[in-house]
A and B are shown apart, each in its own frame.
Chain A
């Protein structure tokens, strides 16, 4: 995946809470078997609303999304982070994220940044006052710099940060511990149930 170090770009204030993954990418677009091309369907229904913020010219080319709490709730569809990434977003800032969405983002190099509700509201207000203003997200320093120069620090698990900074692939990291997996399988793995009994019966 692409490394994430520091990103400076236009930030979009999406002043809504509990934005679910059905809004980020509706179900009719989950039928593709490819990993790319979801960006044009991002917020598909909301983009039909008059004045929807993403459609306003100030925000063309935006790379940072700012939203309210519980962003990404609902389904586990990784298509949601794929759509955000494909549209051009590199980071999402919110007071809280749904767990599966947050994990999915970090697997593809899209940075979820958790600030306090107060900080998000301040940032949101600045972005509304100065539409199209740039924000900087530094993963190296764990700092968000707002358009007026305020600096908000954020926490992120050290191993996740390391992985994002380096663009490391999770599977390769785990396979470095293949001995440990084999040892577990040999010594401690529970007996069954094996799905193998269904292999032939199930294919018809």
Chain B
């Protein structure tokens, strides 16, 4: 995969009532059907953190996270700032 250099993520906890597969940071992830990006962030225990999200290659502004719904096979990249030179 091109793009942001990766640090391998562990498998996130799977929310209950899962119905579809998406890919989050390169990891296959089961989530509830039509979950919103906000819900995804919550389910990954990332709420309140300073993040940016790219969905299928396009950045989704934070203000739109509550209304953007995910579909089967979507690819999300969730990034943050870490130490670097």
Q: Do A and B actually bind?
A: no
Chain A positions within 8 Å of B, measured between CB atoms, are none
Chain B positions within 8 Å of A, measured between CB atoms, are none
